[in-house]
């Protein structure tokens, strides 16, 4: 009898391991259904011990929707020109001294990916090829649980509010190409505007959608009011009770729902090597609660 993939929850606010599956094989319909159900419930899935080529990673990712290309890197191209949907997150330099991927070895603060775009990515996968012995772990936080734990007063206050998500810097704080070092105040920083609370049109569930803290601005408020509200929200969403941390092993594949999760990464030694391959599943415009 064929064994169907099984989910084992982490026991934290989100995350589950999927076992009894080899993602280098074509997925059967029953396995795919089991994965989709577990993903809807746990928001982050981990598959350990996978041996995947870029083509395997792309084939697996496409089961969940059309893929977005990786963002353009500082060399003006994508990291894997033959497979532009593959993104590389790495601190490694090649023999000519060129970076093989982005984000270096620094800490990445809590954020959701590419919310500075009007149609931010729905989900991402991250596959570990090389990892440091210490550091470089990735934390995830459940924004559905964070919304549900808000006071009724704050839920009502945030409904209908919109926030601008900074386009100018990445999650390690580096300035993106073509943007100013500073702006008169946060209300002038370019970025996409999204609801503070987003609703899943299929299930009706609501989630906080804070994007990232740096340079965020709540529309319609003074800068001081916006800063105070965002400080309150970020103190709430970064509580450990909403989080789970992925301690990487080589050959781990993790996928997360970027609509309803935040993630962050610990810094690691510049002398260590970390090499991750990533894909981005395309999304659409967040729907307000
Ligand atoms: C990211 O912020 O997308 C990178 C996460 C990681 O490197 O673990």
Measure the CA–CA gap between 234 and 135, rounded to whole angstroms. 23
Residue 157 CB coordination number (10 Å): 13
Rounded mean pLDDT, 72-86? 92
Q: Is the pLDDT of residue 143 over 90?
A: yes
Is the CATH number of domain 1-289 3.60.130.10?
Answer: yes
- pLDDT of res. 40: 96
Q: Please tell me the distance between residue 89's alpha carbon and the centre of ligand 1 in angstroms.
A: 7
Q: Which of 73, 87, 103 gets mutated to test ligand 1 (max ligand atoms within 8 A of its CB)?
A: 103
Q: Which of 276, 277, 281 gets mutated to test ligand 1 (max ligand atoms within 8 A of its CB)?
A: 276
How many helices (H) and strands (E) are present in the chain, helices listed first?
A: 5, 18
Q: Is the pLDDT of residue 148 over 80?
A: yes
Please report which confidence band the pLDDT of residue 83 belongs to, taking 50, 70 and 90 as the band edges. very high
Residues with Cβ within 8 Å of 8's Cβ and at least 6 positions away in sequence, in order, are 16, 17, 18, 19
Mean pLDDT of the chain: 95
Q: Is the pLDDT of residue 181 over 90?
A: no
* Ligand 1 neighbour 89 (Cβ under 6 A): yes
**Ligand 1 atom with least separation from CA of 264:** 2
Q: Please tell me the distance between residue 254's alpha carbon and the centre of ligand 1 in angstroms.
A: 11
pTM: predicted TM-score of the whole model, two decimal places: 0.95
Please report which confidence band the pLDDT of residue 182 belongs to, taking 50, 70 and 90 as the band edges. confident
Choose among 86, 6, 13: nearest CA to 48: 6
Measure the CA–CA gap between 115 and 209, rounded to whole angstroms. 9
**Ligand 1 atom with least separation from CA of 108:** 2
pLDDT in tens, 87-115: 999 999 999 999 999 999 999 999 999 99
b/e sequence 49-81, b meaning 16+ C-beta within 10 Å: ebebebebbbbbbeebeebbebeebeeeebbbe
Domain ranges within the chain, ordered by starting residue: 1-289
* Ligand 1 neighbour 280 (Cβ under 6 A): no
Instruction: Name which residue leads in pLDDT, 173 or 267.
Output: 267
Q: Please tell me the distance between residue 247's alpha carbon and the centre of ligand 1 in angstroms.
A: 13
pLDDT over 90, % of the chain: 89
């Amino acid at each position: 009898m064929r064994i169907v993939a099984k989910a084992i929850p982490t026991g934290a606010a989100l995350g589950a391991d999927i076992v009894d599956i080899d993602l280098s094989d074509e997925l059967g319909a029953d396995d795919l259904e089991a994965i989709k159900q577990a993903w809807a419930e746990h928001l982050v899935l981990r598959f350990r011990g996978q041996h995947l080529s870029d083509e395997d990673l792309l084939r697996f990712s496409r089961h969940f929707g059309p893929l977005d290309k990786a963002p353009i890197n500082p060399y003006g191209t994508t990291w894997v020109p033959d497979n532009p949907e593959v993104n590389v997150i790495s601190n490694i330099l090649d023999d000519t001294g060129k970076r093989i991927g982005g984000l270096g070895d620094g800490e990445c603060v809590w954020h959701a990916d590419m919310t500075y775009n009007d149609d931010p990515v729905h989900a991402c996968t991250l596959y570990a090829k090389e990892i440091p012995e210490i550091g470089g772990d990735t934390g995830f936080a459940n924004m559905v649980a964070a919304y549900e734990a808000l006071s009724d007063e704050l839920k009502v206050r945030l409904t209908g509010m919109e926030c601008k998500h900074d386009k100018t810097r990445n999650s390690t704080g580096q300035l993106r190409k073509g943007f100013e070092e500073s702006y008169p105040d946060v209300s002038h920083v370019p970025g996409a505007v999204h609801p503070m609370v987003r609703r899943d049109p299929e299930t009706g569930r609501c989630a906080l959608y804070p994007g990232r803290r740096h340079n965020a601005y709540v529309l319609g408020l003074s800068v001081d009011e916006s800063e105070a509200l965002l400080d309150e929200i970020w103190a709430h969403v970064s509580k450990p009770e909403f989080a789970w941390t992925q301690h990487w092993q080589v050959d781990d594949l993790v996928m997360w729902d970027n609509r309803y999760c935040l993630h962050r990464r610990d810094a690691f030694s510049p002398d260590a090597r970390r090499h991750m391959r990533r894909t981005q599943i395309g999304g659409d415009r967040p729907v307000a609660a």
